[in-house]
Structure formats: structure tokens, C-alpha cells
Amino acid sequence: MAKQLIDQAAATLPADKRVSVYQSTKATHEKRTKLLFDQFNDPDLLRQRAGEIKQHVIENLDTLLPAVEAKLKANGAQVHWASTGEAACEAVLRIMQAHGAKKMVKAKTMVSEEIELAHYLEKHGIEALETDLGEFIVQIDKDHPSHIVRPIIHKNRREIATSFEREGLGAYNDDPETITRRARQFLRHKYLEADVGLTGANFVSVESGRIVLVTNEGNSRFSLAAPKVHIALVGIEKLVPRDRDLGVLLNLLARSATAQQLTVYTEFISGPKGATQPDGPEEMHVIFVDNGRTEVLASDCREILRCIRCGACLNVCPVYRQASGHAYRSVYPGPVGAVLSPLLAGKKFPELADLPKASSLCGACNEVCPVNIPIPDLLLRLREKGKREGAPLASVGTPPMGAWALMASQPTAWKAALFGGKALNYLPTKLIPVPALRAWEEKRALPAWRGGEFRKWMKQRRKS
């Protein structure tokens, strides 16, 4: 029986990578759980509240987006709208060209990965340097992130030391502190040379027009210290209605993502440099990116837009732990990616139609989600879509169900099969005519067939 692509990827993942992904995700998940349950009486209630806040946002974008635009403008920022990834890239380029800018420092933004901004800018002769340590390593290795919060979860320090040596950042040394110090030294100069600092946004408050950024390395702060222009790339779903909603969401985000009470840096940016401020960007541009999100909003999977990109579902997911992030062939891996990536793919949905299959539907992702997204339900809806639209990848390894449904809706046929199945007890595996049963027997023994025995017993019992 054919195997799914993600299963093949897991089967060929080198053992050392699997071990580092497993150990790291397991440790973070366990710390996260302990922290939440030690510190809050009812973390599940908090997750529900956070989910309601974000659900309110996605259901009211039509009024919240114009409101936040007005607020941002009042704060002195310029607001741009990009309906596609391409339009967002062009908007960034236009701003850079208007300033004759050639160098950009980037703090981590998933949206820029999504729209492949660095690649686009490079083609137009602009250096866009990643300043998040993990993203920086991904960039010098021409690799891809494999986790939403920990882009290099699939790498070990020996690989990183080798990359640094290759890039002329110093002789081979795999001591983590040395690696970090070397990256810092290299990046400090880049911050000073940059014309533009680009960030994402974890949240944007509609009430105050504040952009909220969380990092642990301070790189977003450095990215905004020297450059004269700040560009923020923001998915249209990133809003929160009021500043005080951040009390709920920030508390959950750091705990869910990295098992911290709060990230080391939490920045609130409410516009470009003011008249009395000595430093900071003189111009601030906020680019709201749609890139398929309004279509997701119109679908029956809209709850996925609540996502705050914490990665908790990746950390707990047994499939992600076995397969790692690259197996998902998209920017967003793991359970959230298995929903979001095929949806954002739009017309290319069939190319990722296997992702929603990569789940035993165990529900652990929903159990940890800080905004309580019913991920298993959404995976099921996308499986139905894949099947309905006849996407070949969606059906790999899944037996056709038509004949089974016919039998399971006719008691006579069902009973005949129950008794007839006894033949299985005498057939060698290689002669079993059902591919799914043979696939089962590759890894597990099949129990003895006892079809109809209970029914006989029940009849006997009723007679006596």
C-alpha cells in the first residue's frame, strides 16, 4: 500500500535530527504544561477566553481593520494594503527605493517567509539580513526554518559551527556561547549599516494602534535603533481589539511558545520617532498582508486565523516529532501548518492536500492551543475537501470507502462478512486480498477473527 509523503519523510529523517527534534519539543511541552498549571487555577478557561478574543477579531475584521488604520495614521505611521504576497513584496521594495535604501535588517517575521521577501529583495539588489539567530543560521545555510518558533530545531551545534567556519565567522568552535557571541559581533555592524529595519507584529492593538513585538534576543529592538525607516509586515488577522486583551494573550503566548512567563523583550511601538525623542525610525510603514487570508475567512476553517504562532501544537504533535518541519513542505509546519498551508495555497491546494492526513486526530494540538483552535475538526474538514475535489495526494494510503459503506448499511451483508471473515484466520498474510490489512500486518499482528461470536453468545443468553 502506498505511503503518505510525510511518512516517507519521517522514515528517512536522520536519527540524530529526529532525536534533537523529539527531545527539544518534549522538554518545551512539559515545561509549558507545568508552568501553566502551576501558575493558573484554570489554564483551559484562559485558553477559551483567548480564543474568544481572537474569534471576535476575525469575525469583525471589516470594522476593526479600518479602525486600526485610522489609529495607526493618527500615530504617524503610513498604512499599506497588500492583497497578495507579491503586492506586499512590491510595497516593501517601493518604500526602500523611495529612500535609495540598499540594506535591510530583518527581525523574525513569518509573513516575510510566507511571501519569500528576502529572495525577492535579493533579486532587486537589496541585502536583507536575518537577525534572529536561528533565522540567521537558516539564511547562511540557504536552508528553511523547520519550526515556527525554533527555526533551527533540526540542527545541532556542530553543524552550526561548521557553517560559521565556512562563512568566515571564526575557526571551528561548537561552544554555544562562542557561536552566539560571533553572531552578535557580526550582526552589530549590520544593524548600524542598515537603511531599513523590518519586523513582523505579534499583535496590533486597534484601541491604541500599538504594534507589539516579542523576542528573546532583542534583535527587533536593535533592528529599529539605527535605521531611519521601520517597515512592519502584518497579517490582517493579527489585531486585538483593546490593549488589555494583551494581558490574556501575552501571558499565554510566552508560556505556550517557550515556557517563559514573558519573553525577554516585549516591545510596544506606537509610531515613528516623536519630536522629543532622540532616536528611532523617522518613518514607520505598516503593510497589512492578506495573501489568501480573506479566503480562509470565507471558508469553514476560519478558526485557524486565531493562531498566534506559538508553536505549542508542533511541540506536542507526535507526527511533527517524528517527521520534523521540512516534511510539511511549507512555511507553517505541524498541526497548524497542516491546516493553514493547504488553505493559503489557494489554487495549489492539491499540492498540499496530504498535509491534513498527517494526523492520528489525537487532539493533543487542540488541548494545548492557547487560542483553543479545534485543529482536529479543521483537519477533518480539509480531508473532506481533498476527497471531494479529488486531490490525488489526499487519498494516498486510504482505502476507498464506497464498498464498505454499502456493506455497513446493509445488516445482512454485514453479518455475512462477519462470519465470512473467519477465512482470514487461515490465510497467510501475503494472500490476504485487502491491502490495508496487509499494510497493518507489516508492523503489527492481527488478532484472531471472531466475527459473529458475540452475537451468538447474546442470542444464547437471551434464550436462557
Among 93, 140, 418, 432, contact with other proteins (rule: CB under 8 A):
418
DSSP state of 156: -
Cβ closest to other proteins, residue 201 vs residue 369: 369
Cβ closest to other proteins, residue 278 vs residue 400: 400
Q: How far is the CB of 237 from other proteins (least distance, A)?
A: 23
Distance of CA 464 to the CA centre of its chain: 60
Number of residues that bind other proteins (CB under 8 A): 77
| Gyration radius of the chain's alpha carbons | 26
Among residue numbers 352 through 381, which ones bind other proteins (CB under 8 A)? 357-364, 366-367, 374, 376-377, 380-381
d(C-alpha 382, C-alpha 342), whole Å? 8
Binding range to other proteins, per CB under 8 A, among 6-14, 34-42, 253-261, 275-283: 6-14
* Nearest of 82, 108, 107 to residue 95 by alpha carbon: 82
Q: How far is the CB of 92 from other proteins (least distance, A)?
A: 39
Among 16, 26, 119, 268, contact with other proteins (rule: CB under 8 A):
26
d(C-alpha 449, C-alpha 447), whole Å? 6
Q: How far is the CB of 245 from other proteins (least distance, A)?
A: 22
Q: How far is the CB of 309 from other proteins (least distance, A)?
A: 22
Among residue numbers 321 through 340, which ones bind other proteins (CB under 8 A)? 322-323
Q: How far is the CB of 17 from other proteins (least distance, A)?
A: 14
Cβ closest to other proteins, residue 26 vs residue 242: 26
Laid out side by side, the sheet with 203-205 consists of: 239-240, 203-205, 211-215, 265-269
d(C-alpha 175, C-alpha 177), whole Å? 6
129 three-state secondary structure: strand
Asked if 142 touches other proteins (CB under 8 A), the answer is no
Among 15, 461, 463, 464, contact with other proteins (rule: CB under 8 A):
461
- CB < 8 Å & 24+ apart, contacts of 429-438: 434/399, 435/1, 435/399, 436/1, 436/399, 438/1
8 Å CB contact between 451 and 422:
yes
* Nearest of 212, 198, 381 to residue 308 by alpha carbon: 212
- Give just the sign of the alpha carbon dihedral 80, 84, 85, 87: negative
Cβ closest to other proteins, residue 326 vs residue 387: 387
Cβ closest to other proteins, residue 61 vs residue 439: 439
CA distances (Å), origin 156, targets 7, 21, 134, 137, 153: 23, 10, 11, 11, 8
Cβ closest to other proteins, residue 264 vs residue 403: 403
Cβ closest to other proteins, residue 242 vs residue 450: 450
Set of cell numbers at residue 98 = 523611495
Among 421, 423, 427, 429, contact with other proteins (rule: CB under 8 A):
421
Q: How far is the CB of 339 from other proteins (least distance, A)?
A: 14
d(C-alpha 101, C-alpha 418), whole Å? 74
Among 3, 94, 123, 181, contact with other proteins (rule: CB under 8 A):
3
d(C-alpha 189, C-alpha 126), whole Å? 17
Among residue numbers 292 through 321, which ones bind other proteins (CB under 8 A)? 316, 318-319
- Where are the extended beta strands (E) located within 4-91? 78-82
Among residue numbers 432 through 451, which ones bind other proteins (CB under 8 A)? 435-436, 439-440, 442-451
Asked if 34 touches other proteins (CB under 8 A), the answer is no
d(C-alpha 234, C-alpha 309), whole Å? 13
Asked if 196 touches other proteins (CB under 8 A), the answer is no
Among residue numbers 389 through 408, which ones bind other proteins (CB under 8 A)? 394, 396-402, 404-408
Among residue numbers 150 through 179, which ones bind other proteins (CB under 8 A)? none
Q: How far is the CB of 404 from other proteins (least distance, A)?
A: 7
